[in-house]
Amino acid sequence: MQILIINGPNLNLLGRREPGIYGTRSFDEYLPELREAFPDFTLEYFQSNHEGELIDKIHEVGFTYHGIVLNAGAYTHTSLALADALAAINTPTVEVHLSNVAAREEIRHKSLIGKNCIGSISGFKLDSYRLALHYFEGLRPKRVGFKV
């Protein structure tokens, strides 16, 4: 399965950015562990601080890839354009957040993109990405001869 993890604005600073909220590890440090945990997946990674680049990437993969794991950062709460991009594509998308957005400032409680995602995982720090990938693991075609 081909899955793209997309990180939005300021997530390139993971590990250095507000470590009390987002943890002390960078995403680049974590990604090899994820790849090891899901050897059957082709896991690609894209990060951008620019709304238009995130939208272009969603368009690029959104009709062919099996899944998108999206942490849109602050655009989660503000970007109707990102929400529209997710509505336009076929690839199922799981929304993730490192922090528990429900326990933070009220402005972070609203997700504009959530309604166009399969579901949302929030609050497990970097582990949120692993939990999201388990959803796609469940979608994998069953082994031949395996009866359900």
Q: Which residue shows structure tokens 């890839």?
A: 65
Partnered with residue 3 across adjacent β-strands are: 43, 67
22 among known catalytic residues: yes
49 is in an annotated binding site: no
d(CA 114, CA 75): 11
Q: Identify the H or E element spanning 91.
A: none
Helix, strand or coil, per DSSP, at residue 15:
coil
**Binding test (CB under 6 A) with ligand DQA, winner from 5, 70, 73, 112:** 73
Please say whether the beta carbons of 67 and 42 come within 8 A. Answer: no
Nearest to ligand DQA of 74, 88 (CB atom): 74
Please say whether the beta carbons of 33 and 45 come within 8 A. Answer: no
**Binding test (CB under 6 A) with ligand DQA, winner from 99, 111, 116, 120:** 99
134 among known catalytic residues: no
CA 89 to chain centre: 15
From the candidates 22, 30, 75, 129, give the one annotated as an active-site residue.
22
71 is in an annotated binding site: yes
Nearest approach in angstroms of CB 119 to ligand DQA is 15
Environment class of residue 82 by beta-carbon count within 10 Å: exposed (0-12), middle (13-18) or buried (19+)?
buried
Q: Binding marks (x or -) toward ligand DQA, 101..130, rule CB under 6 A?
A: x------x----------------------
**Binding test (CB under 6 A) with ligand DQA, winner from 6, 54, 83, 98:** 98
From the candidates 30, 65, 75, 97, give the one annotated as an active-site residue.
97
Given the rule CB under 6 A, which residues bind ligand DQA?
A: 10, 71, 73-74, 76, 97-99, 101, 108
Q: Which residues are catalytic?
A: 22, 97
